[in-house]
Amino acid sequence: MKKIFLLISFLLAAVLYAQEDGRIRGFVRDSLNGEALAYSNIIIKELNRGTTTNERGYYYFNGVRVNVYTLLVSYVGYQTKEIQLYIAPNKTTQVDIELIPKDIQLNEIEKIGQAVDLSKETNISIERIDSKKLERLPKSVETDLIRSLQFIPGVKSTGDASAKYYVRGGSSDQNLILMNGVTIYNPFHALGLFSVVDPDMINSIEFYKGAFNAKFGERISSVLNVVTKDGNNKKAGLTTSASFLSGKLLFETPFPNGSLMINGRKSFSSEVLNKFYNDQKVPADFYDLSFKLNYADDYLNKNGRYFLFGFFSNDELDYGDPTQPNFSWETNLIGFEWVQTYDSPLFSTFRINYSGFEGNTVQNASSLKSRKNLVRDIGISGDFTFLYDSRDELSTGILLKIIKTELIVDQFQNSPNNINETSGNLVGYASYKLARYKGLIAEAGLRINLVGLQNKGHFFPQPRLSAAYSISEKLKLKTSLGLYQQEVAAIADEDEVISIFDPWIILPDNLTPTRSFQTVAGIEYAFTDFLKLDLEGYYKTISNLPTINDEKFLESDPNLIAGKGEAYGLESNINFSYGRIYVNTAYTLSWSFKEVNGERYSPRYDSRHALDLTLDYNLGKGWQFSALWTYHSGQPFTQLVGYYNKFYINDLESEWNQIGNYLPYAVLSGRNLGRLPDYHRLDLSLSKLLELGFMKLKIDVSAVNVYNRDNIFYFERDTGKKVNMLPFLPTATIKLIL
Amino acid sequence: MKIKSIILIIAIIFTSCENNFDPNAEYKETFAVNALLRGDNNFQTVTIVESINPSEFHSGNNETKFVENADVKVVSGDQTYFYKDSLIFDANNNPIHFYYNNEIEVNENKNFSLEVELPNGEKLTALTYVPRFFTFEGGASNSVIDPTINFGITVQWRISAQDLFFHPQLYVNYSVIENGIEQFRRLEIPNSYITRDGKMEGKFSEPSSLKSFSVDYNTFAIALESLREITPVPGNIKIYNAELVLKVYDENLTKYYSSTNVVANAFSSRVYGSDYSNINGGLGIFASYMVHSYRMLISTDYIKSFGYSFVEE
């Protein structure tokens, strides 16, 4: 009967509406908790035409001929669903789809995070990670979003003791970190060891390594866009977990027309942190708290959804000793977002938000100078996406920001210096994606600062171009290029081994905004359904790179001077996924340089070769094993030429003090001319997921640096003593889901 | 068996990756000249030290290698001053080879040049300029120390040159009668006190670009109280006056001091420190500083409140 109905429908459609098109749209969500499934795949089987959901789980097909079709909806870790539907002429058919998670006890590994390329995106320099993949990414001590990025080709770190990351030769403050579209200025807890973004609250992540489209700006190197969970809209639930470092609690509950998620984390021991610093005492104490409330009521506004979210984190570093300085820093973020779909092929997002950062160094009786940094960032934005029948897409948007930065520092020998700036930024962008030709996706966009934060930042056009062409089902070529501008900077001293927090400022008017030209070209090749290669080469130049003036000896000397940067390299990612096994090989060959005061050198995060091998093996019955071997060739450091006993000015009262006060001082060679020994380490992890009636229990046991490799952190200049990074370190995490 | 072999091979690979690594570049002999010209004395000194090979240094030999038998001279206008070679011993009985001249008068607005010829024939040179026009701001500075007429002790000064560093030190000149003999001494007043391990410690001023010095009466009183520890009879202590001794660094000394006092935090071991030197061909410093003093009276009632004696006006 059903078949007859479909046949009649088909015939009617073919006869009556042969020349008219319809549209399909909807959301893809998890059937158990209603969370949006970002980047899931939807294919119209009969047309062999597909798309992926966006970060909200939203999808849209335009220009679909009137007919009966089968929608195939798939997502890693979920059962694929087939839905039959009839497309009416000149109508939008709303199809919201819920996918059922696969049984955890199935002896079958999920295809981790591997979204099928449905030729709707150029996919250049983008990593899309969902929460399930994040859980399986390599970790040390506990799962950490930003540390996990460091295993992506093109992303570098300076060692175990910092989660700061450097993308394609850019400095760490050139990475834009967004939570639900709102900028986070300091994303680190505990001296930069861990990120403030708790993985338990993440729904999905987009990470652009460069050459990103016109929608994104503000920073020149990379964009990390984190979308948090909406909260379970099916039933109330509680998840709690503990590691050697912190305890966490996640509460989710539905309410009429919406849901709520509240997530908190608090450190309870700093013992494990001491291991990161060669058993040096790290009295760190931190917490973070976030919430997200979403509401959708068709009576109030059809097809509209509202989100209210907040994020608050705080860190203290207090020795309880008046001769030691105290440090504290906090991030506060709150935002309201209105996501609207329309009967026309238009999708819009409006957002108003506040992001604040405050960092304090209290000198006490130490020799370190006091410092205070404030950032207040208020933004209002609107983004619109319009889909043409031809499958082309137009995206446009406008962003208004008011940013205040204040840095009060005893920067120059007891002379307080207040670097204070409040400024507005009005940005517009438009981007046109050409998707009408089979196998070809091309995008051209322009981002422009209508009003810059800085006087020299007005009206700087930032064109962005990208294209991808699928030569065959197996082979795809892709390329992109663009200009980028940044008007704020974190004042980080790149020669400090660890920086507790980096203060942000709007660039002073004596400097031109930092600008970068980037170009990327690459190929994707699928050897088989199980073995895929992604290869990208890039070239990047940076001008007006703000750099701390090492030769600031007088108060009138500028704090920052302009440098230059250049980076190029080749990145490859090969992944093999078959049955219970997932293997990923990420290799980067890269060069990066800075030039300051005419001296060209490699920054500390430059390493020629980087290789990360990941093995994930599903042992069945809830057991999961993973291994990660990380290697990078030696990073630059400045070599010693010798020592001399330097004359120190102490008390000049006595004439003999003028000739008797000496302390050893290092004579150094050119900056970063030497290379440290290669870094490598092996981490292993074994986890077991147990279903105990109404609750689930996950136990994870990990071992960091299994063969106890002595990876050099730095050399103490005074003693020549080698200071190593993390030794062999066993850790465990236990997680309870109610 | 196969698995065991593989594990063994991997273990050998990993354990064989020991770091046979030398963090040092090729050693190059370098010389540092330290020559400060002081404005309060004609006795001027110069030391010359030689650098140390890192391997030698790390094996424990970090003794200062003073260079002897160099020719050292300072030229100012048409005057040339030759330095003599000499030797003293420090508190640990280590020898300090130095050069001296006791005829150089350092005055404001004067240029000096230094020429050093090392025994190996190498020449090191440098220039310095003594800044001009310094004066204390009498109107903005205390002339009398008396908590009943002002809230704190402040001294201000001005100078035509920009950016220079100043090192102010406030002293109380006093005498104490010991064994029937009056001993003249001075007590340095700290900027503030901190409590460490239950004991109060003074925190003294450091060179900075601030053109004023101030201390509150509470700190001043704590410092004066400490004189009671010298003798059980407070009346044996006679307070004369207070004196701010101010050293004015020239531009080279300011830069040098600034570069030697870059302070990082406990976790911030800098791997690339800035090392300012104005010595052509080597390291070290050639600079000058002037010394000025500003005297203040201490009110007799205030001195009496501590039980000390005072000088009749």
B38-75 b/e with 16+ CB inside 10 Å = b?
bbbeeebbbbbbbbbbbeebbeeebebbbbeebebbbe
Chain A residues within an 8 Å CB radius of B289:
652
Is the pLDDT at A544 greater than 80, yes or no?
A: yes
Q: Which of A23-32, A468-477, A480-489, B57-66 has the lowest mean pLDDT?
A: B57-66
Q: Which of A49-58, A89-98, A275-284, A323-332 has the lowest mean pLDDT?
A: A275-284
| Residue A534 burial (CB count, 10 A) | 21
Q: Given B36, B65, B264, which is nearest A658 (Cβ)?
A: B36
CA A269 vs CA A188, A285, A319, A320: distances in Å: 17, 8, 14, 16
pLDDT per position as a tens digit, B294-310: 999 999 999 999 999 98
Q: Does B32 touch chain A (CB under 8 A)?
A: yes
Say yes or no for a CB contact (<8 Å) between A647 and B47.
yes
Chain B residues within an 8 Å CB radius of A638:
271-272
Q: Are B158 and B135 in contact (CB under 8 A)?
A: yes
Question: CA A103, A109, A112, A115: dihedral to nearest 10 degrees?
Answer: -80
pLDDT at B4: 60
Q: Does B16 touch chain A (CB under 8 A)?
A: no
Residue that is last in its domain, among A179, A195, A223: A223
Q: Is residue B206 part of a domain?
A: yes
Q: Does B191 touch chain A (CB under 8 A)?
A: no
CA distance A469 to B11: 46
My answer on whether B194 and B303 are in the same domain is: yes
CA A379 vs CA A293, A355, A454, A646: distances in Å: 20, 8, 17, 52
Closest CA of chain B from A505, distance in Å:
20
Q: Does B88 touch chain A (CB under 8 A)?
A: yes
**Would you place residue A17 in the very low, low, confident or very high pLDDT band (cuts 50, 70, 90)?**
very low
Q: Does A325 touch chain B (CB under 8 A)?
A: yes
Closest CA of chain A from B305, distance in Å:
30
Q: Is residue A203 part of a domain?
A: yes
User: What number is the average pLDDT over the span A7-25?
Assistant: 55
Q: Which of A188-192, A419-423, A706-710 has the lowest mean pLDDT?
A: A188-192
Q: Are A361 and A370 in contact (CB under 8 A)?
A: yes
**Would you place residue A318 in the very low, low, confident or very high pLDDT band (cuts 50, 70, 90)?**
confident
My answer on whether B148 and B90 are in the same domain is: no
CA distance A457 to A450: 9
Three-state secondary structure string covering A94-130? ECCEEECECCCCCCCCCCCCCCCCCCCCCCCCEEEEE
Pairing, β B144-145 against β B283-298 = parallel
As given in the structure block, the two tokens for residue B68 are 């002897």
Nearest CA in chain B to A649: B257
Question: Nearest to residue B297, comparing CAs of B142, B155, B189?
Answer: B142
Task: Kindly tell me the burial class for residue B92, based on how many C-beta atoms sit within 10 Å of its own C-beta (0-12, 13-18, 19 or more).
Answer: exposed
Closest CA of chain A from B67, distance in Å:
12
Say yes or no for a CB contact (<8 Å) between B269 and A716.
yes
Is the pLDDT at B197 greater than 80, yes or no?
A: no
My answer on whether B90 and B237 are in the same domain is: no
My answer on whether A50 and A6 are in the same domain is: yes
CA distance B215 to B225: 15
Q: Is residue B170 part of a domain?
A: yes
My answer on whether A78 and A135 are in the same domain is: no
List the CATH number of the domain containing A165: 2.170.130.10
Q: Which of A43-57, A271-285, A513-527, B10-24 has the lowest mean pLDDT?
A: B10-24
pLDDT at B5: 57
pLDDT at B121: 94
Q: Given A653, A655, A714, which is nearest B45 (Cβ)?
A: A655
* Start-to-end CA span in chain B (Å): 102
Say yes or no for a CB contact (<8 Å) between B272 and A640.
no
CA distance A366 to A324: 5
Residue that is last in its domain, among B130, B156, B185: B130
Portion 220-279 of B in contact with A at CB < 8 A:
245, 247, 251, 253-261, 263-276
pLDDT per position as a tens digit, A495-541: 676 777 888 999 988 899 999 999 999 999 999 989 999 999 999 99
Task: Kindly tell me the burial class for residue A564, based on how many C-beta atoms sit within 10 Å of its own C-beta (0-12, 13-18, 19 or more).
Answer: middle
My answer on whether A218 and A132 are in the same domain is: yes
Portion 104-133 of B in contact with A at CB < 8 A:
none
pLDDT at B6: 54
Query: Which residue(s) pair with A290 in the sheet?
Result: A263, A311
My answer on whether A36 and A85 are in the same domain is: yes
The percentage of chain A sitting over the pLDDT mark of 90, rounded to a whole number, equals: 39
My answer on whether B101 and B206 are in the same domain is: no
Is the pLDDT at A46 greater than 90, yes or no?
A: no
Q: Is residue B75 part of a domain?
A: yes
Nearest CA in chain B to A326: B265
My answer on whether A88 and A40 are in the same domain is: yes
Instruction: Provide the 8-state DSSP code for A380.
Output: E
Q: Which of A162-166, A354-358, A533-537, B269-273 has the lowest mean pLDDT?
A: B269-273
Q: Are A124 and A480 in contact (CB under 8 A)?
A: yes
My answer on whether A88 and A133 are in the same domain is: no
pLDDT per position as a tens digit, A207-238: 999 889 999 999 999 999 999 988 888 889 89
As given in the structure block, the two tokens for residue A714 are 């730095």
Q: Which of A471-480, A661-670, A717-726, B215-224 has the lowest mean pLDDT?
A: A717-726
Q: Does A498 touch chain B (CB under 8 A)?
A: yes
User: What number is the average pLDDT over the span B74-90?
Assistant: 92
Say yes or no for a CB contact (<8 Å) between B32 and A715.
no
CA distance A286 to A289: 10
My answer on whether B110 and B138 are in the same domain is: no
Portion 620-639 of A in contact with B at CB < 8 A:
637-639
**C-beta pairs of A294-298 under 8 Å, 24+ apart in sequence:** A294/A230, A294/A231, A294/A258, A294/A259, A294/A260, A295/A257, A295/A258, A296/A257, A296/A258, A297/A257
Interface test with B, best of A366, A594, A641 (most B CBs within 10 A): A641
Closest CA of chain B from A367, distance in Å:
7
pLDDT at A629: 94
My answer on whether A16 and A75 are in the same domain is: yes
Total tally of structural domains belonging to chain B? 2
Task: Give the range of the structural domain holding residue A207, as residue numbers without chain letter.
Answer: 126-223
CA distance A418 to A413: 14
CA distance A276 to A711: 12
Task: Give the range of the structural domain holding residue B217, as residue numbers without chain letter.
Answer: 134-249+293-310
Q: Is residue B20 part of a domain?
A: no
My answer on whether B99 and B160 are in the same domain is: no
Q: Is residue A707 part of a domain?
A: no
pLDDT at A656: 66
**Would you place residue A719 in the very low, low, confident or very high pLDDT band (cuts 50, 70, 90)?**
confident
pLDDT higher at A445 or A114: A445
Question: Nearest to residue A240, comparing CAs of A259, A261, A265?
Answer: A265
My answer on whether B151 and B190 are in the same domain is: yes
Q: Given B15, B18, B255, which is nearest A554 (Cβ)?
A: B255
pLDDT higher at A81 or A651: A81
**Would you place residue B47 in the very low, low, confident or very high pLDDT band (cuts 50, 70, 90)?**
very high
Say yes or no for a CB contact (<8 Å) between B30 and A642.
yes
As given in the structure block, the two tokens for residue A478 are 């892709």
As given in the structure block, the two tokens for residue A366 are 């130490």
Say yes or no for a CB contact (<8 Å) between A641 and B24.
yes
CA distance A391 to B161: 70
User: What number is the average pLDDT over the span B158-171?
Assistant: 89
Q: Which of A135-144, A241-250, B75-84, B163-172 has the lowest mean pLDDT?
A: A135-144
Q: Given B203, B208, B247, which is nearest A415 (Cβ)?
A: B208
pLDDT at A4: 44
Provide the 3-class DSSP secondary structure of residue B300.
helix
In whole angstroms, how large is the CA radius of gyration of chain A? 27
Total tally of structural domains belonging to chain A? 2
Helix runs in A242-289, H state only: 271-276
Residue with tokens 């694929």: A80
Those residues with Cβ within 8 angstroms of residue B180's Cβ, 6 or more apart along the chain or in another chain: none
Interface test with B, best of A280, A412, A667, A728 (most B CBs within 10 A): A667
As given in the structure block, the two tokens for residue A221 are 């190197």
User: What number is the average pLDDT over the span A280-287?
Assistant: 80
Residue with tokens 């009005």: A426
